[in-house]
A and B are shown apart, each in its own frame.
Chain A
Amino acid sequence: MTTWPPLLVAVVVVPILGAVLTPVVGQWRARRAADWALGTMLLTSVVALLLVARVADGGPFSYVAGGWEVPYGIELRFDEFSAVTAIICLLGVLAIVFSRRYAEHALPEVRIPYYYALLLLNLAGMLGFSITGDLFNLFVFMEILSLSGYALVAVSGEKIAEMAAFKYLVMGAVSSIAVLFAIGMLYALTGSLNMADVASRLGGAPVAPVAVAFGMMALGFMVKAAIFPLHIWLPDAHAIAPSPVSAILSGLVVKVGIVGMLRLYQIAYTSRALDLEALNTVLMWLGALSIVMGAFFAVFQDDVKMMLAYSTISNIGYIVMGLGLASSAGVIGASVHVFNHAIIKATLFLGAGALIFRTGKRTLTDLAGVGHAMPWTVAAISVGAISIVGIPPTAGFLCKWYIALGAVEAGHPFFAFALVFGALFIFIYYIRMVNAFYFRPPRDPAILEVREAPASMLVPILVLATLCLVMGVLGRIPLSFIEPAVTRLLAPIGGG
């Protein structure tokens, strides 16, 4: 199957166009901004699905804007990893639907058009980030998504939210500078910004600058991914942001760091300029530490969203460990967990958002017994919880199984142990949550009187919960979809 070549540009230009026009459309009625944003994302989703269908059929393809040849113009390249665009679009659509009632409730009305504009910009930045084949272009999209992310955390206008956003901004700015500096060094070494071209010209470069450039880039992306101990900005930002924003930040934006790492690996492995053994060892250890520390902190949280935020750190640990293992099964498991965790964490954050919207409470203690009042929402949250623990029929199981296999395959059975240990911890705190919602007596009987979430919230949550189950049953499809990309990635170092 082929598609019209410029369609690849459309997947980022359409949401940018939609975003800059959202304040215009929403200047008379805020609801129009919501409709407009939804329409924009639905159109973008159609484009993204066509692109994913094409890559599944015929492998990676490129488009160079302006009709230039490759190192001179900016190449957009869509490979199997770029299929994350489909998840970005899916969560984007659902978060916008969910925001309809939520934003009216949580934000001053004059801000709503800008809220949707920023949401679209954030999605556009992530879409561009995952399809570009050019290093500087990668940085530009990273800035769009970072800047909009900081603002989305602060948008509710509460003091604590502004503080969280500021912390996020400072850490994010440091990571952006690290990445930009690394790109500058790679340009000085090769005279090119095209990723494939850089990889092919990096061969004979001096070792010290290459090592520092790769190191800085990895550092920058690891801050974005919030790996332990670079995670300190995440819990507040993700817990305090409006819930649909939390779903996008926790489900997608931290994955930008992972996609960035995959791009870095593509350059580094192909160029063979450097042995990445040291970096991979660091990543495995940090991954293992993240799994354990994230889970450990999560156990002590009473605030539902805070707990979910720490659980993200834990799950990013799985992904980073899988990447560091550099074995076929490990990287496949990690890549697919990028998709699955996005769905699961969005289910949980949107579910938590619906509970907070109806009850006005956000701690496990206060929410005790809510399962009787909001059965559908809590059922969906429970499905999400089972998935994230990784119990077999759900989406979380296969990836973790693959990462554990990868650890054994790479000769590090200890890390498989860390993974199982982490899963146990995760099991404890999610069982605590489900237990509180269903079986603990309510602290305030009034909680039994609240109504089920409105349809515009419930439908996205149920769609996501269903996907958690479907992705578990059909789990082999994404695994075999991503496999050729991983084989190509690891081929130069003799893996795969």
Chain B
Amino acid sequence: MKRALVIALLLAVAVPLLIAVADLPPHGSPDAPAHTHVAPRYLERGAEEAGAENIVTAVILNYRGLDTLGEVTVIFTAMAAVLAVLVGARAVTALDTPASALPVSMIVRFIVRVLAPFIVLFSIYVVLNGHVTPGGGFQGGTIAGALVIALTLIMSDEQAARLLPRRPERVLQAAAPLAFIMTGVTGLLLTGDFLGYPVGHESALVATLMLTFVEIGIGVGGAMVIATIFRTMGAGR
């Protein structure tokens, strides 16, 4: 009975959706409004007027920079949410569970240690090169965050705690929105518009530096957020 109801409900939602989607402009068609209205301008003029050779970066950080500022704020919100709900709650259970239930295999430990410097290098490459090729702060930050998680798994809690800088930790967690807002205000001073980037040949370097600064901020902030969420959720495991 319950299953029949669920199926009926899903059909009631799915059928109108399918009918509607069938009537949308065909996917990938060159005549679809998605390809003929706003997008051509990004493709044709993005490289010169938005300061980034990679069009995706131009859209994310420049044309629609305010959205991305909002998105990095969403990521920060997720971390604040995890901390607000979990911090200070698990202190009791931490004492009950044995410190390490299962020793980590030597092979895993060895491979993570060997690969760590290369992973760091690759994440820096992805962050800095996002300006030219696909990639950027989000992706590079995730790679670095994943490395912190991998290292946490093979280390004791005390060693793992030293992985993240203790002192300016809370500033670094907010690095992405902070870098974004700082760049936005710099743009306001240079061009008169919030999140404006200087255009033109002679100021290309300034625009590139501003974009790179945002990318680094997103990368550092992203890595810190991922590592912090992981550590908070694993506290007292």
Q: A interface vs B, CB < 8 Å?
A: 6, 9, 13, 16-17, 19-21, 23-24, 27, 65-68, 71-74, 76, 108-111, 114-115, 117-118, 121, 124, 128, 134, 136-137, 140-141, 143-144, 147-148, 150-152, 154-155, 157, 162, 165, 185, 187-193, 201, 206-209, 211-213, 215
Contact = CB atoms under 8 A, between A and B. Distances in A.
Given A155-B85, A208-B23, A209-B24, A144 B77 contact: yes
A115 B81 CA distance: 9
Interface stretch (B116-124, B143-151, B153-161, B184-192): B184-192
B80 interface: yes
A117 B80 contact: yes
Contacts of B74: 140, 143-144, 147
Summarize B's interface: helix, strand, loop or mixed: helix
Nearest to B16: A212
Nearest to B171: A24
A189 B34 CA distance: 7
A208 B197 CA distance: 41
A187 B34 contact: yes
Contacts of B83: 23, 111, 114
Given A13-B184, A140-B74, A212-B20, A191 B81 contact: no
19 contacts: A6-B194, A9-B194, A19-B76, A20-B73, A67-B191, A72-B38, A108-B87, A110-B88, A114-B84, A121-B76, A140-B70, A143-B77, A150-B81, A155-B84, A191-B36, A191-B38, A192-B38, A208-B23, A212-B20
B2 interface: no
Contact of B73 (A71, A76, A121): A121
Contacts of B196: 66-67
Interface size class of B (residues with CB under 8 A): 35 or more
B193 A6 contact: yes
B48 interface: no
A201 B19 contact: no
Interface string B1-44: 00000000000000011011111110000001111111101100
A73 B64 contact: yes
Contacts of B25: 188-189
A19 B75 CA distance: 13
Interface of B: 16-17, 19-25, 32-39, 41-42, 62-67, 69-71, 73-74, 76-78, 80-81, 83-85, 87-89, 170-171, 173-174, 177-178, 181, 184, 187-188, 191-197
A207 B19 CA distance: 11
B34 A188 contact: yes
A71 B37 contact: yes
B187 A24 contact: no
A65 B83 CA distance: 32
Contacts of A147: 74, 77-78, 81
A385 B34 CA distance: 51
A147 B76 CA distance: 10
A208 B25 CA distance: 12
B20 A211 contact: yes
Contacts of A66: 62-63, 65-66, 187, 193-197
Contacts of B65: 65-66, 74
B193 A111 contact: no
Given A16-B181, A74-B65, A144-B70, 7 more contacts: A23-B80, A66-B62, A73-B63, A134-B67, A206-B24, A207-B23, A215-B16
